[in-house]
Amino acid sequence: GTLSEIKERGKLIIGTEPTFPPFEYVDKDNNIVGFDIDIAKKIAEELGVELEIVNLPFDSLIPAIMSDKIDLIIAGMTITKERAKVIDFSIPYFNANQSIVVRKGESFSPKSLNELVGKRVAVQLGTTGDLVVSDIKRIKITRFQKFTDAFLELQNKRVDAVVLDEAVARAYVKKFPKFEVSTVIDTGEKYGIGVKKENTELLEFVNKVISNLFKSPYDVLVEKWF
Ligand code: ARG
């Protein structure tokens, strides 16, 4: 919805896919929490409305915003040319790269995407990880809706590696030390919040909230008094 529709409704509805720690994941009390969720809370707070979080498969987020089921996509989503044809993105709020995760202590420890040729690789459907491996011929790709399922597949030795965003890979490896990051692939990605095209007022509002997040309390004081 537009800025005024959201205020009238008294609720901001964001869409996310919560198997992506520390950006969005389900905690032990079954709440969706994380870095992105705190940004969403901040936007709702600044708007003076409640926050509703809709849990969707990653590849359903863009269709959902286009059909007005959600107001914003906050899902560690990389700003890409293809996606920017159909939705608008906020200013970038996080830098990211892809990485390869394998079972720890085994001989297979690829240092480049090319070493995945002939191997079985799990990715999340529709992500940039999916794109980078799909670009290389003769990788056997299994595409999952949930990263939790991709890692289960790795644990059960039905795939040899999982390719995903580095910060998220680190979070999984920390939680499950049976996995390790074998290498980082420098893809130079930037995350943005997705907004429906032409929804300019909302986009500008979101940009304002993000740029304020980058300001130190000192910057805020200077801006207030000078
Ligand atoms: N940054 C990657 C992309 O944009 C992965 C994002 C996955 N996000 C998630 N919440 N599952 O394709």
- Pair 54, 70: CB distance under 8 Å: yes
Q: What CA–CA distance (Å, rounded) separates 142 from 150?
A: 8
Which sequence spans correspond to the domains of the chain? 3-93+192-225, 96-188
Report residues of the chain scoring pLDDT below 50.
Answer: none
List pLDDT tens digits, range 76-96: 999 999 999 999 999 999 999
CATH number, span 3-93+192-225 = 3.40.190.10
Ligand 1 contact, 75 CB (< 6 A): yes
Ligand 1 contact, 20 CB (< 6 A): yes
CA of 106 from ligand 1 middle (Å) equals 27
CA of 71 from ligand 1 middle (Å) equals 18
- Protein residue closest via CA to atom 5 of ligand 1: 127
Report which secondary-structure segment, H or E, holds 95. strand 94-103
Place of tokens 């595409």: 143
Domains 3-93+192-225 and 96-188 share a fold: yes
Q: How far is CA 85 from CA 177, 188, 199, in A?
A: 39, 20, 14
pLDDT of amino acid 43: 98
Quote the tokens at residue 36.
């992105």
Question: Into which CATH architecture does domain 96-188 fall?
Answer: 3-Layer(aba) Sandwich (3.40)
Ligand 1 contact, 160 CB (< 6 A): no
Ligand 1 contact, 182 CB (< 6 A): no
List pLDDT tens digits, range 105-148: 999 999 999 999 999 999 999 999 999 999 999 999 999 999 99
pLDDT of amino acid 215: 95
Quote the tokens at residue 11.
């609720």
Ligand 1 contact, 58 CB (< 6 A): yes
Q: Which is the closest atom of ligand 1 to the Cα of 83?
A: 4
The dihedrals phi and psi of 4, each to the nearest 5 degrees, come to -70, -35
* Helices 166-175 and 147-155, packing angle to 10 deg: 50
Q: What CA–CA distance (Å, rounded) separates 19 from 120?
A: 21
Q: Which is the closest atom of ligand 1 to the Cα of 16?
A: 10
pLDDT of amino acid 75: 98
